Structure 1
Amino acid sequence: MADPIIIAVPKGRILAEAIPLLERAGIVPEAAFSDENSRALRFTTNNPGIDLIRVRAFDVATFVAHGAAQLGIVGSDVLAEFDYSELYAPVDLGIGHCRLSVAEPAAMAASDDPRGWSHVRVATKYPHVTEAHFARRGVSAECVKLNGAMELAPLLGLAPRIVDLVSSGRTLKENGLVEVEVICEVTSRLIVNRAAFKTRGEVVPLVEAFRRAVAQELAA
């Protein structure tokens, strides 16, 4: 019997939106999968040929690119940051809507004009996307790599600006920051390992199931 197809799904905010999408695609996880307090990392589904793993969003792309998982759900921000050639992203799932933005303290923004920047120092977990964005504008970007708590960087003098995901903007506001520039809009994508797409016969029907699930949601 062939090894199960493994689908990598991110922990955190996308998880709640991913579960109904999985179910519309005919994949019903075991109950523990939706329990954020569960310490388990691998889960069964109603299909004995499909297992799910729940990992950090940035790790989804790595698991799928290296073939440890055959499919995954991940934000377009992660795909842009890593740009793995081994990944194929055939379906925009229409979930996880947010944006990748530049933010700075409100007092600073009151007299700041991004069009006049020539050099910026930013804290971000997206150094490659950030540098590429500013390079296109002819701006030199010095990136301080952080993996979380981005909003603390301006407050504690680590960097005057940040580049981070923004959804409602509430976290920025509560930390005295405001958006001053949007780098890109972000949604979650279905990603597939290119080798698995060619060699595992179960993968193509799964991709089509996700495509139908998205179409059903749009039609509802």
Structure 2
Amino acid sequence: MAAPEKLVLALPKGRILDEVMPLVRAAGIEPEAAFDDPKSRQLEFATNVPGLSIIRVRAFDAATFVAFGAAHLGVVGNDVLTEFNYADLYSPLDLKIGHCRLSLAMPVEEADDDPRAHSHIRVATKYPNLTRAYFAGLGVQAECIKLNGAMELAPSLGLSKRIVDLVSTGGTLKANGLKEVSVIADVSSRLVVNRPAFKTRPAALSHWIERFREAVGGAAA
């Protein structure tokens, strides 16, 4: 019998990985032991499912791997889905994990500064497309400075007094003298599938969509 054609599941590193693994395991996928070894430098891991492997990558990269077909399914926040708007990503399922929000924040002492009083503002963010669209809706042109981390430093160092970033508890903002002034989007993690792969391998990918759907339902019960 021919071996099954390979499937690759892209999972994001960090906090979301801890939240998604109970669902992955509930769906019937158990990675090899090296996956749970903090000293392991592997990036791709075999699983108990023949022909299915897991890659562990940055959250933004999970979307790219799936969109371009290097992975066939993955876990991606809807913030990333909206930011990149990849045509070849199909998102059939909200996994009900990774809850946070994409918010505009400013120094506490300047939080009352209405952006609509300006024709042009500067914003530090990891999400330039979402940020520009948000401010365009207010009739304001936003110059976005792309940062991949340490966003909270931008106001204190004079880079930009406005930042757009993910917020969970708000503790990091408060510790850096910043205030959340507006919520741009509520965020949760989604199961995503490569559209061309779904057309050519509908049975295999539909199987895993349903297994994850059952896992989410079981977690909510």
Shift of 1:118: 4.0
Using the TM superposition, name which of 4-13 and 30-39 deviates more. Answer: 30-39
Which whole-Å CA distance do the structure 2 matches of 1:46 and 1:209 have between them?
A: 15
Which whole-Å CA distance do the structure 2 matches of 1:163 and 1:51 have between them?
A: 34
Per-residue CA distance 1:93-130 (angstroms, 9 max, x = gap)? 00000000000111211x43456454321000100010
Structure 1 residues 138 and 36: alpha-carbon distance in aligned structure 2, compared to 1, 3 A threshold: farther
1:160-199 alignment runs, 5 A limit:
160-199=161-200
Using the TM superposition, name which of 33-42 and 57-66 deviates more. Answer: 33-42
Amino acid at match of 1:39: R
Per-residue CA distance 1:146-169 (angstroms, 9 max, x = gap)? 111111111111111100000111
Report if the CA contact (8 A) 2:124-2:145 is conserved. Answer: yes
1:52-131 alignment runs, 5 A limit:
52-109=54-111, 111-114=112-115, 116-131=117-132
Which whole-Å CA distance do the structure 2 matches of 1:21 and 1:36 have between them?
A: 20
Amino acid at match of 2:193: V
Per-residue CA distance 1:38-85 (angstroms, 9 max, x = gap)? 321001111122100000000011100110000000100000000000
Shift of 1:35: 4.0
SS at match of 1:202: helix
Report if the CA contact (8 A) 1:114-1:180 is conserved. Answer: no
Unpaired runs of 5+ in structure 2? Answer: none
SS at match of 2:215: helix
RMSD over aligned CA atoms reads 1.4
Which whole-Å CA distance do the structure 2 matches of 1:169 and 1:31 have between them?
A: 35
Which whole-Å CA distance do the structure 1 matches of 2:38 and 2:154 have between them?
A: 28
Number of aligned positions between the proteins:
218
Unpaired runs of 5+ in structure 1? Answer: none
TM-score normalised by the chain length of structure 2: 0.94
1:216 aligns with 2:218: yes
SS at match of 2:8: strand
Report if the CA contact (8 A) 1:15-1:34 is conserved. Answer: no
SS at match of 2:71: coil
Amino acid at match of 2:70: A
1:26 aligns with 2:24: no
Which whole-Å CA distance do the structure 2 matches of 1:14 and 1:162 have between them?
A: 22
Identical aligned residues as a percent:
63
